Each structure stands twice: as C-alpha cells, then as structure tokens.
Structure 1
Amino acid sequence: MEPPKTKRIKHDLLYYVSRCATLFSILMYVSYIPQIMNNLTGVKGNPIQPLCATLNGALWVSYGLIKAEKDWPVIIANLPGIVLGLVTFLTAL
C-alpha cells in the first residue's frame, strides 16, 4: 500500500497532466483555423487528415459520453475536433 503522500502526489500529477492534455488537444484542433481560411480563399489543402481528425474526435467524444462516469476532459478536448475538423474537411473539397 502506498503512503498517503505518494498517492496525493500521483493524484496531483494526474490532475495537471490531464488539464495540459485537454488544453493541447483543443489547441491542436484550433490550429485548423488558418487552413480553413486558406481553403476559403482558394488555396485548397488535403481533406484526408481533417476527416481523420473529425472521426477521431467523434470516437473520443462517444467514449467519454458512454462511460458510466462521463469523462469530461476527454469530451471537452475532442469536441472542437469534430467541428473544426469537419469544417476544414468540407472547405478543402
């Protein structure tokens, strides 16, 4: 059995890592905005990667919603991927 202090340190580390991962997932999807703007001005990008990101985000959001105890960091981190990935995909066509 772990000492209480070690359990607390692991819990704190997990908390901060999950928050950073959520933030960077959102930033990853927000980085599509320049590509969307380029697509709208006629400089078309490859639609395959944003389509995969859309499907990936949808699967992770589904996972977070299906769990008995909703996994809100996973849901929040991947919702922008569905919207922005889909918009990027559609504008790249």
Structure 2
Amino acid sequence: MAFTDKQIRILSIVATMMAVGMYVAYIPQIQMNLAGQKGAWLQPLVAAINCTLWVIYALFKKNRDIPVALANAPGIFLGLITFITSF
C-alpha cells in the first residue's frame, strides 16, 4: 500500500509534533533537577547528541528535510539543559 502525498504530509506533521512533545517532556525533569531532585544525565546527553546529528543530516543533505530538522531541534536544547541541570 502506497501513501498519497497528502497522507505523507499529514504523517510528517504528526511525527514532528510528537517528536517535539517528546523533548518538551524534559521540562518537568529540568524543574525537578533545579529543585534538587536530580535525574539521570546520560539519556538526555545522548538525546542531545542524536538530535544534533539528525538536524545536521536534515539540513545538509541534497534535498533538505525541514520536518526532521524541526522535530529534532528542541531535543538539542532541552536535552542539553536537562543534562546540565542534572549535576
């Protein structure tokens, strides 16, 4: 079964929103870290590195993939903030 262009567009929007939501979910952990309830540091660091690689890939490939870049950009910043505040 092949998807139509409209279905792919909808899928890219939903996937982008879900990815952003996944990284926005770091905000409560950041708040707990700042309140003294320190969380794990490894997962947010690896997420930030992973997101950086995906953004570079999406922006520098021949046909830019803006939804992939937009979906992963928040993970760079929120992952790093979560990592830094976990100490």
Q: Distance in 2 between matches of 1:91 and 1:73?
A: 28
1:57 paired residue among 45, 51, 55: 51
What is the Cα-based RMSD across aligned positions, in Å? 1.4
Amino acid at match of 2:33: N
Q: TM-score, normalised by structure 1?
A: 0.88
Q: Following superposition, which runs of at least 4 residues in structure 1 exceed 3 angstroms of deviation? A: none
Match of 2:39 in 1: 45
Are residue 86 (structure 1) and residue 76 (structure 2) matched? no
Pick the structure with greater CA Rg. 1
Match of 2:26 in 1: 32
Deviation of 1:62 (Å): 0.6
Deviation of 1:65 (Å): 1.1
Q: TM-score, normalised by structure 2?
A: 0.94
Deviation of 1:70 (Å): 1.4
Deviation of 1:69 (Å): 1.9
Unaligned runs of 5+ in 1: 1-5
Q: Distance in 2 between matches of 1:42 and 1:75?
A: 33
